[in-house]
Structure 1
Amino acid sequence: MTTEPCSPAVLLGRLRECDRILPRPGTIRSPSIPAVPWDEFCDPAGPWLARCVAEWQERGGFRHHRAGIVLVAFRFGWLACCATVPEYHLGAPLPSLAGLHVAVTTEGRLSGLRPTGDQLGESSPQQWWAQLSRAFEPLTRALHTLGGPAPESQEYWGNPVGSLGTVLWRLKRSGLPGDAIATARELRAATGREHLLDLDPERDPWTRRTTCCQWWRNPGSGYCEECVLWNSRSRRM
């Protein structure tokens, strides 16, 4: 945590601002969207994960099957960081991802996380990463079963690691207090995969992924501001 302690009311206001600028668990509440247990969603033989991959393929018009697979990992990594990184940065108790459910639309889109509301007893970078990676690992194994890269591939793991930087960059850009770059360094170190996220305070944006989420393969898409392809020949054209 790099933010000075504040009153509960001020902290609540800051977290509500995070809800406004990020897709956090409290921002998508629709009784018509099924809430699926996380282990059920990650079952490669079940109906949810394969449909989620197909939904990405259809939405992006991808020819590469790997694109939809990796984008599922991107989506969960992004939502999980949005649900937990602000709490660590601002000094709030870390939400628990144990017993997690996810909201899945009828089209198959992973639209949001549904934590139980429980909190972790410890709010350290190590505890943050331990629970996020514990949730992420079964997803990587399942995506591999569906034809994706090996579970330890950086094509998967670059997504939660890269997303922690993006979340903190957005918090800093929105004027929320605390040293976002220092927090990014703390959390990046806890992942043991520091090479997957490049941080440079002299650059704008100061966070940059070193792996690709695959969305650029969409014929009509652009590039993320923190994209690893920021200086590629195809981007300059």
Structure 2
Amino acid sequence: MSASACSPAVLSGRLRECDRLLPRPRTVPSSSLPTVPWAEFCDPAGPWLSRCAAEWQERGGFRHQRAGIVLVAFRFGWLACCATVPEHYLGAAVPSLRDLHVAVTAEGRLSALRPSGAEAGRTPQEWWRDLAEAFEPLTEALHALGGPCPESHEYWGNPVGSVGTVLWRLQRAGMPGDAIATARELLAATGREHLLDITPTRNPWPRRTTCCQWWRAGGGYCDECVLWNSASRVSG
């Protein structure tokens, strides 16, 4: 259930607040980094995707190659949800991820999404179909680089889990609307309900059921991490 209807000026203000709260397309100025077509970025034989995985690997100091690969899926899933879920929640036009370009740093980091300006559709099913169609070639390419199979929950748990994280952050910031109901609505549209646990009486109420792997870098745990009760988290 999206937020109640409001004037265009109020809606624009709420979207600007989302830009402040989350890494969204307008967060990184369009002129500051070069952009690459999404299909070109996802080419496993090209320079972009392998460099992005290597950048995660180097930044995290990982021994296992799979960690850096899975974190590419995490980054895109997070950016894609940040770019589309607030619009769905607030009742605005949802940007389509078709004909997408991405901004990439010199080090290879996937920095921002550059949607084309087209709309994905208003229903949860249209939103998920659009996001999944963008995500699928990434999972296939990461598999080609040595990662898990394209259907692995290690990939798909990232965009699905990020739905809850985005809405929880908007709720925590005081955005109007029923964030939990929206999370359930969007989660049902994914057909992968087992990848996100929603418990309204818990704080935070969303919890991933898969791991993004970043904890292995020694950076701690996200509030909604599946490892919420791990021995190292409890003792830390």
Q: Could you state the TM-score of these two structures normalised by the residue count of structure 1?
A: 0.97
Q: Does 1:137 align with 2:136?
A: yes
2:181 match: secondary structure: helix
What letter matches 1:177 in structure 2? P
Moved >3 Å (runs of 4+): none
The alpha carbon displacement at 1:34 in A equals 1.2
The Cα offsets for residues 94-146 of structure 1, whole Å up to 9 and x where unpaired, read as 111111000000000000000111223x3000000000000000000000000
CA–CA separation in structure 1 for the residues paired with 2:2 and 2:93: 14
Q: Partner amino acid for 2:117?
A: G
Question: Number of matched residues?
Answer: 235
* One-letter amino acid of the counterpart of residue 20, structure 1: R
Q: How does 1:16-95 map to 2 (within 5 A)?
A: 16-95=16-95
Q: What pairs up with 1:1-237 in 2 under 5 angstroms?
A: 1-120=1-120, 122-218=121-217, 220-237=218-235
SS of the aligned residue for 1:198 comes to: strand
Using the TM superposition, give the Cα deviation of residue 234 of structure 1 relative to its aligned residue in structure 2, in angstroms.
2.6
Identity %: 76
Q: What secondary structure is seen at the aligned counterpart in 2 of 1:27?
A: coil
How high is the TM-score relative to the length of structure 2? 0.98
SS at 2:177's partner residue?
coil
> Quick one: distance in 1 between partners of 2:128 and 2:22?
20
Letter in 1 for 2:97: L
* Aligned-partner Cα distance in 2 for 1:191–1:88: 14
Structure 2 distance, partners of 1:132, 1:188, is 13
Residues of 2 paired with 1:199 and 1:12: CA distance? Answer: 29
In the alignment, structure 2 segments of 5+ residues that lack a partner are none
1:175 partner SS:
coil
In terms of mean alpha carbon deviation, does 44-53 or 26-35 score higher?
26-35
1:17 CA displacement: 0.4
**d(CA) in 2 for partners of 1:118 and 1:187?**
20
Residue 236 of structure 1 and its aligned partner are, at CA, apart by 2.0
* Mean Cα deviation higher: 64-73 or 22-31: 22-31
- Structure 1 distance, partners of 2:126, 2:39, is 21
Alpha-carbon separation, structure 2, partners of 1:192 and 1:99: 24
Measured in 2, the distance between the counterparts of 1:37 and 1:200 equals: 38
The residue matched to 1:201 in structure 2 has which SS? Answer: coil
| Whole-Å separation in 2 of the counterparts to 1:183 and 1:206 | 13
Q: Give SS of 2:26's match.
A: helix
